[in-house]
Amino acid sequence: MIAAREVLAGFTAACEDIFTMRFVRADRNGRLLEMLGSANSIICTKQKQPVKNNWEWETVMRRMLALFGWSAILSLVVLASARSVSAAELTDAEKKDGFVSLFNGKDLTGWVGATTGYVAEEGNLVCLKEKGGNLYTKDEYSDFIFRFEFKLEPGANNGLGIRAPQGCDAAYCGMELQILDDSAEVYKNLKPYQYHGSIYGVVACKRGHQKKVGEWNVQEVIVKGRQVKVILNGETIVDADIDKESTPKTADGQNHPGLKRDKGYIGFLGHGARIEFRNIRIKDLAEKK
* Residues 6+ away with beta carbon under 8 Å from 151: 214, 215, 216, 217, 275, 276
Contact 283, 145 (CB under 8 A): yes
Contact 98, 283 (CB under 8 A): yes
Write down the pTM of the prediction: 0.72
Residue 58 pLDDT grade (very low, low, confident, very high; cuts 50, 70, 90): low
Q: How far is CA 207 from CA 183, 211, 235, in A?
A: 11, 11, 10
Domain ranges across the chain: 4-82, 92-284
pLDDT at 18: 43
Q: Is the dihedral of CA 255, 196, 28, 121 positive or negative?
A: positive
Residue 89 pLDDT grade (very low, low, confident, very high; cuts 50, 70, 90): confident
**Can you tell me the mean pLDDT for 14-40?**
42
pLDDT, tens digit, for every residue of 104-161? 999 999 999 999 999 999 999 999 999 999 999 999 999 999 999 999 999 999 999 9
Contact 248, 261 (CB under 8 A): no
pLDDT, tens digit, for every residue of 248-289? 999 999 999 999 999 999 999 999 999 999 999 999 999 775
Residue 50 pLDDT grade (very low, low, confident, very high; cuts 50, 70, 90): very low
Other Cβ atoms closer than 10 A to 160: 24
**Of 10-24, 60-74, 240-254, minimum mean pLDDT range:** 10-24
Alpha carbons 269 and 168: distance in angstroms, whole number: 11
Mean pLDDT value across the chain? 81
Q: Which CATH superfamily is domain 92-284 in?
A: Exo-inulinase; domain 1 (2.60.120.560)
Better-predicted residue by pLDDT, 250 or 7: 250
pLDDT at 126: 98
Other Cβ atoms closer than 10 A to 227: 14
